Amino acid sequence: MATRAAQKRLTREYMTISQNPPPYITAHPSESNILEWHYIITGPENTPYHGGQYWGTLIFPPNYPFAPPAIRMHTPSGRFQPSSRLCLSISDFHPKSFNPAWEVSTILIGLLSFMTSEEMTTGSVSATETERKYHAARSRWWNSTGGGSHVNRSSGQQKNNVKAGDGGAKFKSEWAEVHEENIKWMEENKIDMSTGSRADTGGPSCGPQLGIASASSHQAHAVVDAVIQQRDAGQGWLFNNKLVLAGCLVFIYVLIARLLGEGGM
């Protein structure tokens, strides 16, 4: 249970972050517990996370702001282990380094900054840019369906993972409007809610965002055919004009020989 000081501080911070949210960040406390905050980070431009919807939690101690929160990101990102506590200077791994002047917005800005770097810590993972783009493209589907576990909510459950296996129930309860937007987006883009793939093609939902490597076989063949046609076109020109080229080479050879002969005289 939050102390009176923590209750007052977090209430004020909620008003502040609601009125002036930092770029790419939105957050609010749970209605049932002011010490449990939920945030969404939208992947910034010019990063592998662009357009991704990353949901996580901050669990504050009762004596906040004299101790830092536990920080987790539940949405798979290719940067952090889903729902694992993150070891950061602003998290509960380092209570002695926490500054009571830091606010929720400070903590989340620090998290976003760390996310877009390549530093490693407890709870972080290594992944390629393509893998991170893949997760970004599937993040809306993952948040609102529990990674497809809405089909069978008993599947895929993991300890301390509020997301896995819950069918998106927790996300929906905290982000009802965002959840509705996600469902509408999936319907418009024909996303199979069980797999996260495009229902009309059967391919990954992130195909168009990942370029030719994830294109359909027909698209790949079309690109290859175009390259072959350009290559053949180049070979055809050389073949059709080989006599002219040979004549030019002979003329140049004779001209050089004559100039050298005159120089020798």
| Cβ atoms of 83 and 74 closer than 8 Å | yes
Give catalytic residues, as residue numbers.
87
For every residue of 61-122, DSSP letters joined together read -TTTTSSPPEEEE-S--SSB-TTPPP--TTSTT-GGG--TT--HHHHHHHHHHHHTS----T
- Nearest partner of 29 among 9, 49, 45, 47, judged by Cα: 9
Q: Within 10 Å of residue 102's Cβ, how many Cβ atoms?
A: 15
